[in-house]
Structure 1
């Protein structure tokens, strides 16, 4: 089995600040780092570090070969990562003393995808493989439809949230993933509770409270608690969780076990500064000793 991720690739500029800036306020950063990120890359790196075979489908600028090299160093297969004229996507991430963040994204190559290239890449997959998607690229409905037609598991992160994007891709999704705010936005926009959203499975991340999964086919619900930690940087915690859930399912875990494993990985991630480069390995998660909340 394998995980395919049609996802964003960003170069992250991370600024550590005493607090997040207010409108009109200028702050001096206490540190600045440049690293690998984007929801797509974060999820690919998480799934690869968890132990799945991961193929990343996407695009970067021709000048940023180091991005490919770093992804491959984390175990991500970048055969299907296309180089295009122009810039790789990038993000400006501000992180305050409590670990909360504020993020500005420039899409760059992430919205310069080629439909034939993407569909050809998905054509490599087989029935039972997993496709991950997020809202930081174009062509999501095309990719999801092709994957579902092949009998793949299609896990879609509705972030950054757009009700139009969700509606377009939802018919081709097997698991819809949102955080609590996104779930509330979707329910408000559609006038439907989660149990009426037309998708087989819903997974809602709840931050420090853990996560909730629901089967809209059977009505079964599962809740898992999050380990108690002191966060220093919450950036990429959700992506770490999703990547580990995808890997867990790909490796044959039941959903509860995959969620509990992913919760430990996300908890460990928030104790580290950074995004993709800070995502823990399966060995790190195994050795992580925490108390349940």
Structure 2
């Protein structure tokens, strides 16, 4: 079973500053670093480290060619990443001396995906393969429609949440993996019970994974519900926690693991990631996860 992650590819441009720059101010940074980023890239690396057969579809400019190398080194297939974007998507991140950050995101090539490109990529996948989507690229509605026609199982992580997500046909989504903020925005409900009730009214076959941070995670479908508590660790950086969880959970599902085991392994992987700095670099290997359970 193949997993196609049609997702974002970003360059994170990180500036260390004494404080966030104010209107009209010119401020010198004390350090500058570049890192591979984007939810799509992070989730593909998590999937690969968890043992999945993952293919990444997306768009970069010539300034982002190193992102393909990063993915390939993690055993992600990069055949369906195109390089004709105007500028690779990127984030300008200020990190203050107190550790706070503020982020300016530019979609760039991530927002230049064409219908022709989508059709070319999806030709290589068929019934029972899995499609993973986030909300950092364009043409999400079209990708969902075409993938559904081909019989792919569709997994949606509606992050970052915006109005475009509410326009999607949720009857064509198989797995919805989201956090509390995203769930409340989609359903206009405030309690978990009402959130689940509303989402299942949109699609009775939907499988929902609701992540709750330190409160753990809840899986629910029309028949069963499972809860997994979080692992207590000393948190250093939560940047890639959600992406790590998703990658490990989906990898387990693709290998026909029981939901309870998938939740346990994914939660353990996320708990390791938050003890390390960085995004993609913080994602553990399956060997590390299994040795710590």
Q: TM-score, normalised by structure 2?
A: 0.88
Of 217, 222, 228, which aligns to 1:211? 217
Q: Which runs of 5+ in 1 are unaligned?
A: none
Q: Match of 1:239?
A: 243
The equivalent of 2:87 in structure 1 is 87
Residue from 245, 249, 253 that aligns with 2:257? 253
User: Number of aligned pairs?
Assistant: 286
TM-score (norm 1): 0.88
Q: Distance in 1 between matches of 2:98 and 2:232?
A: 15
> Which digits, 9 at most, give the CA deviation of each residue in 1:18-42, with x for residues without a partner?
8x85976999877643111101111
**Secondary structure at the residue paired with 2:276?**
coil
Cα distance, 1:30–1:239 mapped onto 2, change above 3 Å = farther
1:12-161 equivalences under 5 Å are 12-15=12-15, 21=20, 32-94=32-94, 102-161=102-161
Cα distance in 2, alignment partners of residues 124 and 241 from structure 1 = 27
Q: Which has the higher contact order (CA 8 A, sep 6+)?
A: 1
Please give the secondary structure, in 2, of the residue aligned with 1:70. helix
C-alpha change, 1:96 and 1:264, in structure 2 (3 Å) is: farther
Provide the rounded CA distance (Å) in 2 between the counterparts of 1:243 and 1:194.
22
Q: Tell me whether 1:277 sits opposite 2:275 in the alignment.
A: no
Inter-partner Cα distance in structure 1 for 2:97 and 2:283? 20
Q: Deviations over 1:103-150 (max 9, x none)?
A: 331101000002122122122112222110011001111112222222
2: distance between equivalents of 1:190 and 1:167?
20
Residue 234 (structure 2) aligned to one of 216, 219, 230 = 230
Q: Does 1:201 align with 2:207?
A: yes
Provide the C-alpha distance between the structure 2 equivalents of 1:232 and 1:96, rounded to a whole number of angstroms: 16
Q: Partners in 1 of 2:291 and 2:190 — Cα distance?
A: 43
Q: Is the 8 A contact 2:183 2:195 kept in 1?
A: no
Provide closer, same or farther for how the CA distance between residues 106 and 151 of structure 1 changes in structure 2, counting only shifts above 3 A.
same
Q: 1:63 to 1:33 in 2, by over 3 A?
A: closer
Q: After alignment, is 193-202 or 151-160 more displaced?
A: 193-202
Which runs of no fewer than 5 residues in structure 2 stay unpaired? none
